[in-house]
Chains A and B, each alone.
Chain A
Amino acid sequence: MVYFDYVKPPTLEHLLEGLRQARFEGAVLAGGTDLHVKIRSGVACPRVVFDISDLAPCRGIVEQGNHLRLGAAVRMSEIVASAAVRRKAPALAAAALQMSSRQIRNRATLGGNIVTASPAADAVPPLLAADATLVLLGADGTREVPLAEFLTGPGKTCLGKSEVLTEVVIPSQGPGCRSHFVKVGRRKAQAISIINLAGRIDIGQDGLVRDVGIALGAVAPTAMRARQAEKALIGRAPSAKNLAEAAALAAEECRPISDVRATGSGRRLLVEAWTLRLLHLLCETGGARSGGRNS
Protein backbone atom coordinates (compact mmCIF):
# COMPACT_ATOMS: atom_id res chain seq x y z
CA MET A 1 0.00 0.00 0.00
CA VAL A 2 1.21 3.48 -0.86
CA TYR A 3 0.53 6.18 1.69
CA PHE A 4 0.19 9.79 0.63
CA ASP A 5 -1.09 13.10 1.88
CA TYR A 6 -4.12 14.73 0.35
CA VAL A 7 -4.36 18.46 -0.28
CA LYS A 8 -7.18 20.38 -1.88
CA PRO A 9 -5.58 23.68 -2.90
CA PRO A 10 -8.06 26.58 -2.86
CA THR A 11 -6.31 28.51 -5.65
CA LEU A 12 -3.88 27.89 -8.50
CA GLU A 13 -1.22 29.77 -6.50
CA HIS A 14 -1.58 27.32 -3.62
CA LEU A 15 -1.41 24.44 -6.09
CA LEU A 16 1.80 25.71 -7.70
CA GLU A 17 3.39 26.40 -4.33
CA GLY A 18 2.41 22.91 -3.13
CA LEU A 19 3.84 21.25 -6.23
CA ARG A 20 7.04 23.28 -5.84
CA GLN A 21 7.46 22.23 -2.21
CA ALA A 22 6.70 18.59 -2.97
CA ARG A 23 9.39 18.72 -5.67
CA PHE A 24 9.25 15.44 -7.58
CA GLU A 25 6.93 13.73 -5.12
CA GLY A 26 3.68 15.57 -5.80
CA ALA A 27 0.94 14.54 -8.20
CA VAL A 28 -2.09 16.35 -9.52
CA LEU A 29 -5.27 14.41 -8.83
CA ALA A 30 -8.20 15.13 -11.13
CA GLY A 31 -10.66 12.24 -11.61
CA GLY A 32 -8.22 9.68 -10.26
CA THR A 33 -9.25 7.00 -12.78
CA ASP A 34 -5.69 6.70 -14.04
CA LEU A 35 -3.76 7.92 -11.01
CA HIS A 36 -5.29 5.55 -8.43
CA VAL A 37 -4.76 2.58 -10.73
CA LYS A 38 -1.13 3.64 -11.24
CA ILE A 39 -0.57 4.10 -7.52
CA ARG A 40 -2.05 0.69 -6.69
CA SER A 41 0.05 -1.06 -9.30
CA GLY A 42 3.19 0.70 -8.09
CA VAL A 43 3.72 2.72 -11.30
CA ALA A 44 3.24 6.00 -9.42
CA CYS A 45 4.13 6.68 -5.79
CA PRO A 46 3.41 10.30 -4.94
CA ARG A 47 4.01 11.54 -1.39
CA VAL A 48 1.21 14.06 -1.75
CA VAL A 49 -1.70 14.44 -4.16
CA PHE A 50 -3.26 17.81 -5.03
CA ASP A 51 -6.94 17.51 -5.82
CA ILE A 52 -7.95 19.96 -8.55
CA SER A 53 -11.38 18.48 -9.23
CA ASP A 54 -13.17 21.53 -7.74
CA LEU A 55 -10.58 24.18 -8.54
CA ALA A 56 -12.54 26.97 -10.26
CA PRO A 57 -9.98 28.00 -12.94
CA CYS A 58 -9.84 24.36 -14.12
CA ARG A 59 -13.62 24.02 -14.34
CA GLY A 60 -16.28 25.08 -16.78
CA ILE A 61 -16.98 25.08 -20.50
CA VAL A 62 -17.05 28.54 -22.08
CA GLU A 63 -17.62 29.72 -25.63
CA GLN A 64 -15.33 32.64 -26.30
CA GLY A 65 -15.39 34.15 -29.78
CA ASN A 66 -14.36 31.44 -32.21
CA HIS A 67 -13.08 29.19 -29.46
CA LEU A 68 -14.37 26.74 -26.96
CA ARG A 69 -12.46 26.73 -23.66
CA LEU A 70 -12.73 23.68 -21.44
CA GLY A 71 -11.28 23.55 -17.96
CA ALA A 72 -8.81 20.69 -17.51
CA ALA A 73 -10.93 19.28 -14.66
CA VAL A 74 -14.12 19.10 -16.72
CA ARG A 75 -15.43 15.57 -16.45
CA MET A 76 -16.34 13.39 -19.43
CA SER A 77 -19.97 13.30 -18.26
CA GLU A 78 -20.04 17.12 -18.38
CA ILE A 79 -18.66 17.07 -21.92
CA VAL A 80 -21.35 14.57 -22.94
CA ALA A 81 -24.04 16.82 -21.42
CA SER A 82 -22.75 20.09 -22.89
CA ALA A 83 -24.79 21.56 -25.76
CA ALA A 84 -21.85 23.87 -26.57
CA VAL A 85 -19.47 20.93 -27.05
CA ARG A 86 -22.00 19.00 -29.13
CA ARG A 87 -22.39 22.06 -31.37
CA LYS A 88 -18.82 23.32 -31.58
CA ALA A 89 -16.79 20.14 -31.13
CA PRO A 90 -19.10 17.21 -31.90
CA ALA A 91 -16.27 14.71 -32.36
CA LEU A 92 -15.09 15.41 -28.80
CA ALA A 93 -18.63 14.91 -27.49
CA ALA A 94 -18.78 11.58 -29.35
CA ALA A 95 -15.41 10.47 -27.94
CA ALA A 96 -16.44 11.34 -24.37
CA LEU A 97 -19.67 9.40 -24.78
CA GLN A 98 -17.85 6.31 -25.99
CA MET A 99 -15.33 6.29 -23.17
CA SER A 100 -15.61 3.42 -20.78
CA SER A 101 -18.65 3.36 -18.49
CA ARG A 102 -20.91 5.90 -16.80
CA GLN A 103 -19.04 5.37 -13.55
CA ILE A 104 -15.74 6.26 -15.18
CA ARG A 105 -17.21 9.17 -17.19
CA ASN A 106 -18.62 10.63 -13.97
CA ARG A 107 -15.05 10.97 -12.64
CA ALA A 108 -12.59 11.02 -15.55
CA THR A 109 -11.51 14.47 -16.69
CA LEU A 110 -10.40 15.86 -20.02
CA GLY A 111 -7.08 17.06 -18.59
CA GLY A 112 -6.35 13.66 -17.06
CA ASN A 113 -6.98 11.97 -20.39
CA ILE A 114 -4.50 14.30 -22.10
CA VAL A 115 -1.77 14.31 -19.44
CA THR A 116 -1.82 10.52 -19.05
CA ALA A 117 -0.67 10.55 -22.69
CA SER A 118 -1.86 7.07 -23.52
CA PRO A 119 -1.51 6.63 -27.29
CA ALA A 120 -5.08 5.23 -27.15
CA ALA A 121 -6.65 8.11 -25.14
CA ASP A 122 -10.04 8.68 -26.72
CA ALA A 123 -10.40 12.45 -26.22
CA VAL A 124 -7.08 13.16 -27.93
CA PRO A 125 -7.79 12.48 -31.64
CA PRO A 126 -10.78 14.87 -31.76
CA LEU A 127 -8.67 17.59 -30.12
CA LEU A 128 -5.71 16.91 -32.38
CA ALA A 129 -7.85 16.98 -35.52
CA ALA A 130 -9.30 20.31 -34.36
CA ASP A 131 -5.86 21.90 -33.69
CA ALA A 132 -6.54 22.31 -29.97
CA THR A 133 -4.03 24.10 -27.77
CA LEU A 134 -3.32 23.61 -24.07
CA VAL A 135 -2.83 26.27 -21.43
CA LEU A 136 -0.04 25.26 -19.05
CA LEU A 137 0.64 27.12 -15.84
CA GLY A 138 3.95 27.03 -13.99
CA ALA A 139 6.05 29.16 -11.67
CA ASP A 140 7.10 31.29 -14.64
CA GLY A 141 3.54 31.98 -15.75
CA THR A 142 1.40 30.47 -18.47
CA ARG A 143 2.33 29.12 -21.86
CA GLU A 144 0.12 27.88 -24.66
CA VAL A 145 1.27 24.73 -26.38
CA PRO A 146 -0.36 23.01 -29.36
CA LEU A 147 -1.56 19.54 -28.33
CA ALA A 148 0.52 18.05 -31.15
CA GLU A 149 3.69 19.36 -29.47
CA PHE A 150 2.57 18.54 -25.93
CA LEU A 151 2.51 14.77 -26.50
CA THR A 152 6.05 13.45 -26.86
CA GLY A 153 5.71 9.67 -26.41
CA PRO A 154 3.69 6.95 -24.69
CA GLY A 155 3.01 8.37 -21.22
CA LYS A 156 5.28 11.32 -22.00
CA THR A 157 4.50 15.00 -22.39
CA CYS A 158 6.37 18.28 -22.28
CA LEU A 159 4.60 19.21 -19.01
CA GLY A 160 7.13 20.36 -16.43
CA LYS A 161 7.18 18.65 -13.00
CA SER A 162 5.63 21.61 -11.26
CA GLU A 163 3.40 22.70 -14.12
CA VAL A 164 -0.33 22.07 -14.47
CA LEU A 165 -2.67 21.93 -17.40
CA THR A 166 -5.43 24.44 -16.69
CA GLU A 167 -7.40 24.72 -19.91
CA VAL A 168 -7.96 23.18 -23.32
CA VAL A 169 -8.76 25.62 -26.12
CA ILE A 170 -10.49 24.33 -29.24
CA PRO A 171 -11.11 26.41 -32.36
CA SER A 172 -14.89 26.19 -32.84
CA GLN A 173 -16.19 24.23 -35.74
CA GLY A 174 -17.63 26.67 -38.31
CA PRO A 175 -21.05 26.23 -39.89
CA GLY A 176 -19.69 24.53 -43.06
CA CYS A 177 -17.42 22.21 -41.12
CA ARG A 178 -18.12 18.64 -40.00
CA SER A 179 -16.32 16.37 -37.60
CA HIS A 180 -16.56 12.77 -36.52
CA PHE A 181 -14.98 10.27 -34.12
CA VAL A 182 -14.63 6.51 -34.42
CA LYS A 183 -13.53 4.10 -31.69
CA VAL A 184 -12.60 0.57 -32.68
CA GLY A 185 -12.50 -1.71 -29.64
CA ARG A 186 -13.21 -5.28 -28.62
CA ARG A 187 -16.55 -4.30 -27.16
CA LYS A 188 -18.59 -1.11 -27.10
CA ALA A 189 -17.87 -0.13 -23.53
CA GLN A 190 -15.07 -0.42 -21.01
CA ALA A 191 -12.50 -1.34 -23.67
CA ILE A 192 -9.23 0.37 -24.54
CA SER A 193 -9.31 1.39 -28.19
CA ILE A 194 -7.50 -0.90 -30.65
CA ILE A 195 -7.42 2.21 -32.78
CA ASN A 196 -9.40 5.44 -32.62
CA LEU A 197 -9.63 8.27 -35.09
CA ALA A 198 -11.20 11.63 -35.61
CA GLY A 199 -11.66 13.81 -38.64
CA ARG A 200 -12.72 17.35 -39.36
CA ILE A 201 -13.47 18.62 -42.85
CA ASP A 202 -14.42 21.94 -44.40
CA ILE A 203 -15.73 21.74 -47.94
CA GLY A 204 -15.98 25.06 -49.83
CA GLN A 205 -18.81 26.40 -52.00
CA ASP A 206 -16.91 25.08 -55.02
CA GLY A 207 -17.22 21.55 -53.68
CA LEU A 208 -13.49 21.23 -53.04
CA VAL A 209 -11.89 20.38 -49.71
CA ARG A 210 -10.82 23.67 -48.13
CA ASP A 211 -9.38 22.24 -44.94
CA VAL A 212 -9.15 18.81 -43.35
CA GLY A 213 -7.72 17.30 -40.17
CA ILE A 214 -7.35 13.56 -39.65
CA ALA A 215 -6.01 12.28 -36.32
CA LEU A 216 -5.18 8.65 -35.56
CA GLY A 217 -4.80 7.12 -32.10
CA ALA A 218 -3.07 3.91 -30.91
CA VAL A 219 -1.05 3.55 -34.10
CA ALA A 220 2.08 5.50 -33.14
CA PRO A 221 3.90 6.48 -29.91
CA THR A 222 1.47 9.40 -29.61
CA ALA A 223 -1.78 10.16 -31.37
CA MET A 224 -0.78 11.60 -34.74
CA ARG A 225 -2.08 13.70 -37.60
CA ALA A 226 -2.22 11.89 -40.95
CA ARG A 227 -0.53 14.79 -42.75
CA GLN A 228 0.06 12.99 -46.05
CA ALA A 229 -3.56 11.96 -46.25
CA GLU A 230 -4.64 15.51 -45.44
CA LYS A 231 -2.32 16.98 -48.08
CA ALA A 232 -3.74 14.63 -50.67
CA LEU A 233 -7.24 15.96 -50.05
CA ILE A 234 -6.81 19.71 -49.78
CA GLY A 235 -7.97 21.55 -52.89
CA ARG A 236 -9.46 18.39 -54.37
CA ALA A 237 -12.97 17.03 -54.71
CA PRO A 238 -14.01 14.51 -52.07
CA SER A 239 -14.58 11.84 -54.69
CA ALA A 240 -14.58 8.15 -53.78
CA LYS A 241 -11.24 7.75 -55.54
CA ASN A 242 -9.60 10.68 -53.71
CA LEU A 243 -10.91 9.52 -50.34
CA ALA A 244 -9.58 6.00 -50.95
CA GLU A 245 -6.21 7.42 -51.88
CA ALA A 246 -6.11 9.47 -48.68
CA ALA A 247 -7.08 6.45 -46.57
CA ALA A 248 -4.26 4.42 -48.13
CA LEU A 249 -1.80 7.22 -47.33
CA ALA A 250 -3.00 7.30 -43.71
CA ALA A 251 -2.34 3.56 -43.42
CA GLU A 252 1.12 4.09 -44.90
CA GLU A 253 2.15 6.93 -42.61
CA CYS A 254 1.01 5.44 -39.30
CA ARG A 255 3.55 3.48 -37.23
CA PRO A 256 1.58 0.86 -35.29
CA ILE A 257 3.06 -1.70 -32.92
CA SER A 258 1.78 -5.16 -32.04
CA ASP A 259 0.41 -5.58 -28.52
CA VAL A 260 -2.20 -7.57 -26.61
CA ARG A 261 -5.02 -5.85 -28.48
CA ALA A 262 -3.92 -6.23 -32.12
CA THR A 263 -0.95 -6.79 -34.39
CA GLY A 264 0.73 -3.87 -36.12
CA SER A 265 -0.33 -5.04 -39.57
CA GLY A 266 -3.87 -5.58 -38.35
CA ARG A 267 -3.94 -2.03 -37.05
CA ARG A 268 -2.73 -0.74 -40.42
CA LEU A 269 -5.63 -2.51 -42.14
CA LEU A 270 -8.01 -1.01 -39.61
CA VAL A 271 -6.59 2.47 -40.22
CA GLU A 272 -7.18 2.21 -43.96
CA ALA A 273 -10.70 0.81 -43.65
CA TRP A 274 -11.83 3.17 -40.90
CA THR A 275 -10.20 6.28 -42.35
CA LEU A 276 -12.09 5.60 -45.55
CA ARG A 277 -15.32 5.13 -43.63
CA LEU A 278 -14.64 8.26 -41.57
CA LEU A 279 -13.98 10.35 -44.68
CA HIS A 280 -17.16 9.10 -46.32
CA LEU A 281 -19.13 9.98 -43.20
CA LEU A 282 -17.57 13.44 -43.17
CA CYS A 283 -18.32 14.13 -46.82
CA GLU A 284 -21.86 12.84 -46.78
CA THR A 285 -24.43 15.61 -47.20
CA GLY A 286 -26.73 15.85 -44.19
CA GLY A 287 -26.76 12.88 -41.82
CA ALA A 288 -24.77 12.37 -38.67
CA ARG A 289 -22.75 15.30 -37.39
CA SER A 290 -20.86 13.39 -34.79
CA GLY A 291 -19.54 9.90 -34.45
CA GLY A 292 -21.69 7.00 -33.41
CA ARG A 293 -20.66 3.84 -31.67
CA ASN A 294 -19.15 0.93 -33.45
CA SER A 295 -16.81 -1.90 -32.84
Chain B
Amino acid sequence: MTRQSLVLTVNGKNHALDLAPHRSLLDVLRDELGLTGTKKGCDAGDCGACTVLLDGAPVNACLVLAVQAGGQEITTIEGVSSSDGQLHPLQEAFIEHGAVQCGFCTPGAVLSLIALLRETPRPTRAEIQEALAGNLCRCTGYVQIIDAVKSVADSSK
Protein backbone atom coordinates (compact mmCIF):
# COMPACT_ATOMS: atom_id res chain seq x y z
CA MET B 1 0.00 0.00 0.00
CA THR B 2 1.34 3.41 -1.00
CA ARG B 3 0.68 6.39 1.23
CA GLN B 4 -0.45 9.56 -0.49
CA SER B 5 0.34 13.18 0.23
CA LEU B 6 -2.45 15.65 -0.15
CA VAL B 7 -3.89 18.88 1.14
CA LEU B 8 -7.35 18.87 2.67
CA THR B 9 -9.16 22.19 2.93
CA VAL B 10 -11.37 21.97 5.98
CA ASN B 11 -13.41 24.96 7.14
CA GLY B 12 -11.16 27.23 5.09
CA LYS B 13 -7.92 25.91 6.56
CA ASN B 14 -5.39 23.84 4.59
CA HIS B 15 -3.97 20.69 6.15
CA ALA B 16 -1.05 18.88 4.52
CA LEU B 17 -1.42 15.16 5.20
CA ASP B 18 0.27 11.91 4.34
CA LEU B 19 -2.38 9.21 4.35
CA ALA B 20 -3.05 5.55 3.76
CA PRO B 21 -5.55 5.72 0.88
CA HIS B 22 -8.13 3.36 2.37
CA ARG B 23 -8.97 5.81 5.16
CA SER B 24 -12.36 7.47 5.05
CA LEU B 25 -12.74 11.22 5.20
CA LEU B 26 -14.67 10.62 8.42
CA ASP B 27 -11.78 8.84 10.14
CA VAL B 28 -9.26 11.40 8.95
CA LEU B 29 -11.36 14.35 10.15
CA ARG B 30 -11.79 12.75 13.56
CA ASP B 31 -8.47 11.00 14.15
CA GLU B 32 -5.94 13.10 12.22
CA LEU B 33 -7.47 16.55 12.49
CA GLY B 34 -9.22 16.12 15.85
CA LEU B 35 -12.49 17.39 14.43
CA THR B 36 -14.70 15.08 16.46
CA GLY B 37 -17.88 17.06 15.87
CA THR B 38 -18.46 14.82 12.85
CA LYS B 39 -19.89 11.60 14.33
CA LYS B 40 -19.55 7.97 13.34
CA GLY B 41 -22.81 6.07 13.72
CA CYS B 42 -22.93 3.23 11.23
CA ASP B 43 -19.90 3.70 8.94
CA ALA B 44 -22.15 2.50 6.11
CA GLY B 45 -24.12 5.46 4.75
CA ASP B 46 -27.29 4.77 6.69
CA CYS B 47 -27.42 7.20 9.61
CA GLY B 48 -26.08 10.55 8.36
CA ALA B 49 -24.25 11.32 11.63
CA CYS B 50 -21.09 11.80 9.55
CA THR B 51 -22.64 14.34 7.15
CA VAL B 52 -20.23 17.05 5.98
CA LEU B 53 -20.40 19.44 3.04
CA LEU B 54 -18.14 18.82 0.05
CA ASP B 55 -18.12 21.99 -2.06
CA GLY B 56 -21.41 22.83 -0.36
CA ALA B 57 -23.16 19.53 -1.02
CA PRO B 58 -24.01 17.16 1.85
CA VAL B 59 -22.27 13.76 1.69
CA ASN B 60 -21.65 10.89 4.11
CA ALA B 61 -18.00 11.31 5.14
CA CYS B 62 -17.87 7.59 5.94
CA LEU B 63 -18.36 6.76 2.24
CA VAL B 64 -15.77 9.20 0.86
CA LEU B 65 -12.07 8.40 0.91
CA ALA B 66 -10.03 11.23 2.35
CA VAL B 67 -7.78 11.08 -0.73
CA GLN B 68 -10.84 11.78 -2.89
CA ALA B 69 -11.59 15.03 -1.08
CA GLY B 70 -8.32 16.80 -1.94
CA GLY B 71 -8.94 20.09 -3.75
CA GLN B 72 -12.50 20.37 -2.48
CA GLU B 73 -13.90 22.67 0.16
CA ILE B 74 -14.88 20.58 3.19
CA THR B 75 -17.22 22.04 5.80
CA THR B 76 -17.72 20.33 9.15
CA ILE B 77 -19.83 21.40 12.11
CA GLU B 78 -16.76 23.14 13.57
CA GLY B 79 -16.84 25.48 10.56
CA VAL B 80 -20.41 26.75 10.65
CA SER B 81 -20.14 29.18 13.56
CA SER B 82 -18.55 32.58 12.93
CA SER B 83 -14.89 33.17 13.81
CA ASP B 84 -15.80 34.95 17.06
CA GLY B 85 -17.54 31.79 18.26
CA GLN B 86 -21.07 33.01 17.55
CA LEU B 87 -23.26 29.98 16.73
CA HIS B 88 -24.95 29.72 13.35
CA PRO B 89 -28.59 30.96 13.54
CA LEU B 90 -29.75 27.42 12.84
CA GLN B 91 -27.74 26.12 15.81
CA GLU B 92 -29.35 28.78 18.02
CA ALA B 93 -32.75 27.74 16.74
CA PHE B 94 -31.99 24.07 17.49
CA ILE B 95 -31.28 25.01 21.11
CA GLU B 96 -34.37 27.22 21.38
CA HIS B 97 -36.70 24.57 20.01
CA GLY B 98 -35.34 21.64 22.00
CA ALA B 99 -34.11 20.01 18.80
CA VAL B 100 -31.02 18.61 20.56
CA GLN B 101 -31.46 15.70 22.91
CA CYS B 102 -28.54 13.26 23.00
CA GLY B 103 -27.00 15.40 20.24
CA PHE B 104 -25.40 12.59 18.27
CA CYS B 105 -27.34 13.37 15.08
CA THR B 106 -27.15 17.14 15.52
CA PRO B 107 -23.94 18.03 13.64
CA GLY B 108 -24.98 16.03 10.60
CA ALA B 109 -28.54 17.32 10.65
CA VAL B 110 -27.36 20.94 10.98
CA LEU B 111 -25.09 20.55 7.94
CA SER B 112 -27.81 18.92 5.82
CA LEU B 113 -30.16 21.74 6.74
CA ILE B 114 -27.64 24.53 6.16
CA ALA B 115 -27.22 23.11 2.64
CA LEU B 116 -31.00 23.11 2.23
CA LEU B 117 -31.37 26.71 3.42
CA ARG B 118 -28.69 27.88 1.00
CA GLU B 119 -30.61 26.39 -1.90
CA THR B 120 -34.12 26.99 -0.59
CA PRO B 121 -34.19 29.84 1.93
CA ARG B 122 -37.87 29.31 2.77
CA PRO B 123 -38.44 25.56 2.62
CA THR B 124 -41.80 23.88 3.21
CA ARG B 125 -42.09 21.22 5.93
CA ALA B 126 -42.05 18.59 3.18
CA GLU B 127 -38.83 20.02 1.76
CA ILE B 128 -37.26 19.99 5.23
CA GLN B 129 -38.29 16.37 5.73
CA GLU B 130 -36.85 15.46 2.35
CA ALA B 131 -33.54 17.18 3.15
CA LEU B 132 -33.42 15.32 6.49
CA ALA B 133 -34.22 11.91 5.01
CA GLY B 134 -30.61 10.80 5.34
CA ASN B 135 -30.16 11.98 8.95
CA LEU B 136 -31.59 9.56 11.48
CA CYS B 137 -32.53 10.93 14.90
CA ARG B 138 -33.52 8.43 17.54
CA CYS B 139 -34.49 11.02 20.16
CA THR B 140 -36.43 14.03 19.00
CA GLY B 141 -39.03 12.62 16.64
CA TYR B 142 -37.87 15.32 14.15
CA VAL B 143 -40.73 17.74 14.93
CA GLN B 144 -38.51 20.06 16.98
CA ILE B 145 -35.84 19.97 14.28
CA ILE B 146 -38.35 20.94 11.61
CA ASP B 147 -39.73 23.69 13.86
CA ALA B 148 -36.20 25.03 14.35
CA VAL B 149 -35.60 25.21 10.58
CA LYS B 150 -38.99 26.85 10.05
CA SER B 151 -38.18 29.52 12.64
CA VAL B 152 -34.90 30.42 10.90
CA ALA B 153 -36.55 30.42 7.49
CA ASP B 154 -39.41 32.60 8.72
CA SER B 155 -37.10 35.14 10.33
CA SER B 156 -35.04 35.54 7.13
CA LYS B 157 -36.45 37.86 4.51
Contact = CB atoms under 8 A, between A and B. Distances in A.
Contacts, number: 84
Given A33-B45, A101-B48, A107-B60, 20 more contacts: A4-B21, A6-B21, A6-B22, A6-B67, A31-B63, A32-B63, A33-B60, A37-B44, A39-B22, A40-B43, A51-B68, A77-B57, A101-B134, A102-B115, A103-B48, A103-B112, A104-B63, A106-B58, A107-B59, A190-B134
Interface of B: 1-2, 4, 20-22, 24, 43-46, 48, 51, 54, 57-60, 62-65, 67-68, 112, 115, 130-131, 133-136
Interface of A: 1-6, 29, 31-33, 36-37, 39-40, 49, 51, 53, 77, 100-104, 106-107, 188-190
Please give me the 6 A-B residue pairs with the lowest Cβ-Cβ distance, nearest first. Answer: A101-B134, A189-B133, A6-B21, A103-B134, A3-B1, A103-B60
A33 B43 CA distance: 11
A102 B131 contact: yes
Given A6-B65, A32-B63, A188-B133, A37 B22 contact: no
A40 B126 CA distance: 34
Given A37-B45, A40-B44, A189-B134, A103 B59 contact: yes
B64 A32 contact: yes
A108 B11 CA distance: 24
A32 B65 contact: yes
A33 B54 CA distance: 15
Q: Which of B48, B68, B136 has the most CB of A within 10 A?
A: B68
A104 B62 CA distance: 11
Contacts of A106: 54, 57-59
A39 B21 CA distance: 13
Contacts of B135: 101
Nearest to A3: B1
Contacts of A32: 63-65, 68
Contact of B1 (A4, A29, A36): A4
